[in-house]
Amino acid sequence: MRGHGRRHGGFGGRRMRNLMRPTLLFLMHLGPAHGYDLVERLRSFGITDIDPSLIYRTLRTMETDGLAQSEWSQKKTQGPPRRVYTLTEEGNNGLQYYLDDLKNTRSRIDQLLDAYEQHMQSGIGNFHKTKGDE
């Protein structure tokens, strides 16, 4: 069956990409951060299988959309200069929108899971094991 989970068409990766934007906004809400730091910190939210170039493109798009701003770090480092990303007021508003949407989605998911559990407990319908089937 296609399109149902990582083993069945990559749904897991798409779900993680959908969570990347609000998670990046949240991480910038915590304070300014270098792009590399944001990529690393996304891992603690389970966003691990995404090419870092996609994350950097998302950050640039977020800048274009006015959700974030960046500037080159003035700190001297051994490596090349790095961009520091900061949340804007519009980004904070976007974060609040995403969080409200995620809460609504969680409520709908809970509703579906509860209905499924009740259905499975009833033992009525296809794909239910009865005591005689075990």
CATH number at residue 108: 1.10.10.10
pLDDT digits (tens, 9 = 90+) for 111-126: 999 999 999 988 888 8
**pTM for this model (two decimals):** 0.77
Is 20 among the domain residues?
yes
Q: For residue range 48-79, what is the model confidence (pLDDT) as tens digits?
A: 888 999 999 999 999 999 999 999 987 777 77
132 falls within a domain: no
Residue 59 lies in a domain: yes
Place of tokens 């490596």: 79
Domain extent for 112: 6-122
Phi, psi dihedral angles at 44 (to 5 degrees): -70, -10
Q: Is position 39 within any domain?
A: yes
Look at the chain and report how many structural domains it folds into. 1
Nearest to 41 by CA among 53, 25, 57, 54: 25
Q: What pLDDT shows up at residue 107?
A: 96
